[in-house]
Structure 1
Amino acid sequence: MSRHCNELSFTVLESPWRKITWGDNGEALQYIKEFQPLNEEVKHIRVLLYGSVGAGKSSFITSINNVIQKRMTHQALASVKTADQSFTKKYETFTIQKEVRGTFYPFVFNDVMGLEEGVARGVRADDLKLALMGHVKEGYSFNPSSCLSADDLYYNSTPTINDRVHVLVCIDDANSPQMKPSVLQKMKEIREAASNLGIPQLAILTHIDEACGETERNIRNVYKSKHLKKKMGDLSSNLGIPMNCILPVKNYSKEIGVNRDVDTLILSALRLMIDFGDDYTAKL
């Protein structure tokens, strides 16, 4: 049962505060599978995921792959939930394979080291700022003590439109305590850099089943949960991301098969990501 839900939070609203169609994911999945960027120079929409350690960045990538492949996969390695240090150490790009071997969907995800409290811990905000502009090469090992320099082998001095980030997504754990001030400050720095570049931004609230008993009992209660609505509101206030750009999801973790309702929330988030990215790249 949730650690942060009190008895009052277990109550649900009479009607959902956000409308969503449950279960029938055929149209959404078809949209994803047929998607092609409007800008012909863009090979793929690049989505950069960032957030605190253990927020579920790697698990979210794997969950997206599960939904599209319609089965359990092992796309991105993920650490146990109790880890207090980032499992991801390198700048990696994750692709999703189509039915035809050797072909991939035109959207990719970059996973990065998690943000941590204090100086010289976790990913540095300056490294993520460079990644936004496409200056970080694949395989770069994050160093909490120093950021990537222009004379490093992993520094891309001439990034193309396909190296740049097209959507910035904050991943936050709905079951975690309030963000530490130093982590929040790093997030604000990254967000400000993205805003200056015109990069669209979203936030994903993970572990919604663990954060509220009513959602754990029935995931369709997500938009009826007073507790989760408050968590999303707090995230919006802390980061300055509008509520309509915050999406709650449940990552696949304990399951051995896919679930339509879990898929519905993940597809809703994925569609918004690629649409935002497509709008951004169409203007480049």
Structure 2
Amino acid sequence: MFSIQLSLLNSIYIHFQFNPVSPLSEGDPGYNSCPTLDDKVHILVCVIPADRLSVLSEEVKQKIRDIREAASDLGIPQLALFTKIDQACSVTESDIKNVYKSKYLKKQMEDFSADVGVPMNCIFPVKNYHSEIHMNDDIDSLILSALRQMVDFGDDFVNMS
């Protein structure tokens, strides 16, 4: 079991104890039978370090797939962020503008898509700021593109609810 604490915009804290063997049910403390839009998850984002994809176990892939399928059943949109793309691929390490020219990253994204079910057009490669001391428009454009999609997917979910 693991727990999560969510901080909401209005500074209310929710603490929930997750039990993978027994999902939340109506009799459990904290169960909300009539959630408002503010109580619902608007988007599921899976953040995966691209340089660690090759060591992602089948068990972890299955958990991601299970969570994604449960979110799909609830109509929750999902996307994935591939971080650290510069550390995963020498083509992007030398020039981040080559991100969509990298055959290696494309294959990693296709494999991840096939393994867990996130469509290719919902996987966004981004580079982390980790040693840079100045802002970089090329890095920012990847991050902002992914963020724009997150906001748009969330807005679509809210407008459909």
Q: Which has the higher strand share?
A: 2
**Equivalent residue in structure 2 for 1:244, among 105, 121, 137:** 121
1:169 is aligned to 2:83 = no
3-state SS, counterpart of residue 37 of structure 2 = coil
- Secondary structure at 1:272 match in 2: helix
Q: How far apart are the structure 1 equivalents of 2:118 and 2:151?
A: 17
Any idea what the Cα deviations from partners look like across 1:205-244, whole Å, max 9, x if unmatched? 1110100112112111111111111111111111112111
User: C-alpha separation between the residues in 2 aligned to 1:158 and 1:94?
Assistant: 18
Give the paired residue count: 156
Letter in structure 2 aligned against 1:247: F
Q: Distance in 2 between matches of 1:213 and 1:187?
A: 27
State how far apart, in whole Å, the 1-side matches of 2:80 and 2:135 are: 23
* Corresponding position: 1:187 with 2:64: yes
Q: What are structure 1's unaligned runs of at least 5 residues?
A: 1-87, 96-101, 103-136
Q: 1:253 to 1:235 in 2, by over 3 A?
A: same
**Kindly, what percent of the aligned residue pairs are identical?**
54
Does 2:138 correspond to 1:258? no
Q: Residue 272 of structure 1 aligns with which residue?
A: 149
TM (normalized to structure 2)?
0.82
Structure 2 gap ranges (5+)? none
Partner Cα separation in structure 2 for residue 272 and residue 158 of structure 1:
28
Change (3 A) 1:145 1:244: closer
Query: What's the secondary structure of 1:256's corresponding residue?
Result: coil
Higher normalized contact order (CA 8 Å, seq sep 6+, divided by chain length): 1
Q: Sort the Cα spacing of 1:234 and 1:139 in 2 relative to 1 into closer, same or farther, 3 A.
A: same
Asked whether 1:207 is paired with 2:84, we answer: yes
